[in-house]
Amino acid sequence: MKTNDPQIRLQAVGKTYHSNGLPVRALTGIDVAIAQGSFTVLAGPSGSGKSTVLHLIGALDRPTEGRVLIEGDDLYRRDRKELADFRLRKIGFVFQAYNLIPVLTARENVEYPLLLQRLPAGERAERSEDLLRKVGLADQARKRPGEMSGGQQQRVAVARALAARPSIILADEPTANLDSKIGREIMRLLQRIAREQRRSVVIVSHDQRIKEIADRVLWLEDGQFKALLEMATDPVCGMAVEHDRAITAEWEGQTFYFCAQGCRDEFVGARERAEAALHELADNQGGMS
């Protein structure tokens, strides 16, 4: 891979699944390049294909057409054994369902990819304990997943994804079960890893907090990436909406965009009530003078 080449590139990628014998189009003609050391968020409505993109980058699924290039190499020209080795060496995956091994402790779950890489026991223990400390679980190392909360299991999954020091970290809704403080700390940790260690982090998320620290946000809808320049954020519900599909309202010379009439009505109503209250207060003060 040349210095200026993207670490990840999807070229004309399409993906079709079959349900009850009928084709279901998940992705259509995806073209995107992701730079090494970047922190990228994939956003979009449910069912838009975000998790499918992660699975294609992470060698968990094959595209129906197009190419997935990792560091300039066509990923899916490899056989199954080579893909498994690629995942072990290159990919750290934080699954939405955690996918922890229930009979192993938190530390053993974090150590597991290092065991597959045949690292010495001392190095495995040192690295896993350090990662559990970084995700705030140093005191939970000997607990099994069934003895931990969903948020704690999610943090173990993050530590496990980082254990083998992969060059690409993929995460599917990594803050879904975390409170705001812990979620922010985990995302800052991933951001530091991306910038300081030059690893690419790609995250699927609806969490607005992550978008604030991302280098890039890609909006996926109907199986295709859409330019964020065409997107706006609904000020009531926080959803991203396309300019040309949004319901709008003008207020004090500014245009606001809404996903639905209900959000627009709530926004306008609140401002009209606030304006009426200010006028009433001014009138009352004027009557008292």
Domain boundary among 176, 193, 226: 226
> Higher pLDDT residue, 281 or 122?
122
**Which pTM was predicted?**
0.76
| Cβ contacts of 83 within 8 Å, gap of 6 or more | 59, 75, 76
**249 and 202 share one domain:** no
Structure tokens of 212?
Answer: 């604030």
pLDDT for 246 equals 86
CB burial readout 234-253, b (16+ within 10 A) else e: bebeebbbeeeebbebeeee
Give percent above pLDDT 70 in the chain.
94
pLDDT for 37 equals 92
**222 and 258 share one domain:** no
Does residue 236 lie within any of the structural domains? no
**208 and 250 share one domain:** no
Structure tokens of 14?
Answer: 């399409």
pLDDT for 240 equals 65
pLDDT for 78 equals 94
Closest among 172, 207, 189 to 99, alpha carbons compared: 172
**How many domains does the chain fold into?**
2
pLDDT for 210 equals 78
Confidence band for 120, pLDDT divided at 50, 70 and 90:
very high
**17 and 69 share one domain:** yes
> Higher pLDDT residue, 94 or 287?
94
What are the phi and psi torsion angles at 270 (to 5°)?
Answer: -65, -40
Which residue range is the domain that position 152 belongs to?
Answer: 8-226
**97 and 179 share one domain:** yes
The C-alpha atoms of residue 230 and residue 159 are separated, in whole angstroms, by: 36
Domain boundary among 179, 194, 226: 226
DSSP 8-state symbol, 262: H
The domain that contains 201 carries what CATH number? 3.40.50.300
For the chain, where are the alpha helices, taking DSSP H only? Answer: 50-57, 80-90, 106-116, 121-134, 150-163, 180-197, 208-213, 261-288
Does residue 38 lie within any of the structural domains? yes
**82 and 29 share one domain:** yes
Give percent above pLDDT 90 in the chain.
60
Calculate mean pLDDT across residues 242-252. 82
Burial status of residue 261 (CB atoms within 10 A of its CB: 0-12, 13-18, 19 or more): exposed
Does residue 235 lie within any of the structural domains? no
Could you identify the residue written with the tokens 């009979």? 103
pLDDT in tens, 51-75: 999 999 999 999 999 999 999 999 9
Does residue 237 lie within any of the structural domains? no
SS3 176: coil
Calculate mean pLDDT across residues 165-181. 89
Taking 90 as the threshold, does the pLDDT of residue 30 lie above it?
yes
pLDDT in tens, 187-219: 888 988 998 899 999 999 887 777 778 888 898
pLDDT for 229 equals 45
